[in-house]
Chain A
Amino acid sequence: MDSKQKVLMKGNEALAEAAIQAGCHHFFGYPITPQTEVAAYMAKRLPKIGGTYLQAESEVAAINMVYGAAAAGVRAMTSSSSPGISLKSEGISYMAASDLPCLIVNVQRGSPGLGGIQPSQADYWQATRAPGHGDLHILVFAPASIQEMVDMVFKAFELADTYRMPAMIFADGMLGQMMEPVVFPEKEVKQFDKFSWATCGHQGKRKHNIVNSLILQPDELERLVVERFKRYEVVKANHTECEEYLLDDAEYVIVAYGATSRIAKSAINAARDKGIKVGLIRPKTLWPYPSGVVAKAAEHAKAFMSVEMSMGQMVDDVRLAVNGKVPVYFFGHTGGIVPTPFEVLEQIEKMAGGAL
């Protein structure tokens, strides 16, 4: 791509611009560092193009406004950071239960509690296990660069609409705040006909639609959940994505996503220079998780290591996929500390030397 077409943009601003270009003209949010630029960008742009920007009175209100807008059949989104996502979790569960598409952005910060404001990946369990109460999943995308953030916003909206489920862009303070060159794809946004289920007005031409998550009959509720899980299986089979880097001859495998994967890559390159055969699996989707790729690598690798900005959360998914075949180690920092390539290299050397 010609460098002249590229612009430098902050991750948060690129996310917002990508959402607008993907046809999302309805944003509801509440400010929180380090994602506030998403809302600020939307506040500036949406009124000019006839969209709706609304700063809600709370995160709970914001996600319920997204529910309303999505139920009416428009592309809608909200964005927050870790503590704010916890507040939204009730609404996320309601949206999943009502089969509503939307985009939720989590620019993670140090936690638990109010925590700090520096980068973190400690909401992995929340995003992939329990984004809300109940039997449900949401699509979780983990970008590692600003360009990938942009590309994933388009994909997230499209898959959310296709499968009628919420999607999340799972970023962190580093990706939200940093600037990198980015190019916006010039492609037609796929239009979805939501007339058959949305509460969008029908001029008496059909029976009215109802969007609801309250089902008091257990057999009816079970049937709906089981049907939804069949759809989840289709998503798993068709939309699991990951990057494999230097994996073919790898004796040791690092698994890392998002900002951490970039650091891991630098460490892997340095380890290769020292003759250690190490490769990387970088999940681009965290749900669905690329378990198959991890399991396949476990057939020839001697050991795995999950590198995260947490106390070790994704490592659970690596262990499930490796299924006891070889050791799975963990290295990470939490609380807003970003691991350095040097630290990761040290851990790789220890792993290859049998010192872990």
Chain B
Amino acid sequence: MDNHVVLAGFGGQGVLFAGKIMAYAGLMEDKNVSWLPSYGPEMRGGTANCSVCLSKDPIGSPLVLAPDLLIAMNLPSYEKFIDAVAPGGIAVVDSSLVDQRTSRTDITCCYVPATTLADKKGLKGLANMILLGKALEQTKFASWDAVEQAVLKCIPPKKQHLAQPNLEAIKLGMSL
């Protein structure tokens, strides 16, 4: 199945990194992939976001306007994108930072207190990976093997000790 994803949050929460892992996981399964970050003034203090496409076919527009998967890590991102989610799509929301609930009944919205959970479980700063895990469990955008390889690829050689906590956080997200 093809995936058209928007990941959004504050700068520093790791939405671009989480998007890169998705893209690499798709690449590991020989899919066509694209990753397009926002680079406008909204990066400065508002929402950082990226569009990720995974597809069997060549990717046309890398800009995702109607995501079938949204990962929203803060309120401005949630407000900006929740109505754009395609009918039948899935939204994974960090409910530690977003106190709203959508009234939409045509999408599946998963509220995961990722930031609070990350702090509690000794995975500080890995709320992005917890949400990615939940998204993986919901959409099966790639196999576990592909995601594992992607994490190892995305973490630079000097920081490989961070691979394990990242993978743990993804697993935690999958179990929720």
Measured CB to CB, the residues of A under 8 A from B are 3, 6, 8, 33-34, 117-118, 173-174, 177-181, 262-263, 265-267, 269, 338, 340-341
Contact = CB atoms under 8 A, between A and B. Distances in A.
A118 B63 CA distance: 12
B34 A177 contact: no
Contacts, number: 61
Given A8-B24, A179-B23, A180-B34, A173 B39 contact: yes
A8 B63 CA distance: 17
B40 interface: yes
A341 B63 CA distance: 10
A6 B150 CA distance: 12
Contact of A8 (B33, B58, B59): B33
29 contacts: A3-B28, A3-B29, A3-B30, A8-B20, A8-B27, A8-B35, A33-B39, A117-B39, A117-B40, A178-B34, A178-B36, A178-B62, A179-B23, A179-B34, A179-B35, A179-B36, A180-B33, A180-B34, A180-B62, A181-B27, A181-B33, A262-B59, A262-B60, A262-B62, A263-B60, A266-B61, A269-B60, A338-B61, A341-B61
A340 B28 CA distance: 28
Contacts of B37: 177-178
A178 B16 CA distance: 11
Contact of A34 (B27, B32, B39, B58): B39
Contacts of A262: 58-62
Contacts of A174: 36, 62-63
B65 interface: yes
Contacts of B59: 180, 262
B60 A266 contact: yes
Contacts of A267: 60
A46 to B, nearest CB: 21
Interface residues of B, number: 22
A181 B62 CA distance: 13
B65 A340 contact: yes
A193 to B, nearest CB: 40
B60 A265 contact: yes
Interface string B54-88: 00001111110100000000000000000000000
Candidate in A174, A181, A265 with the most chain B CB atoms within 10 angstroms = A181
Contacts of B34: 178-180
A177 B27 contact: no
Contacts of A118: 40
A89 B29 CA distance: 45
Contacts of B35: 8, 178-180
Nearest to A116: B40
Nearest to A11: B36
A167 B33 CA distance: 29
B132 to A, nearest CB: 16
A340 B60 CA distance: 10
Given A3-B28, A8-B27, A179-B23, A338 B63 contact: yes
A42 B40 CA distance: 23
A34 B36 CA distance: 13
Identify the 10 closest CB pairs spanning chains A and B, nearest first.
Answer: A266-B60, A179-B35, A178-B36, A263-B61, A262-B60, A3-B30, A178-B62, A177-B39, A181-B27, A180-B34
A173 B38 CA distance: 10
A338 B60 CA distance: 12
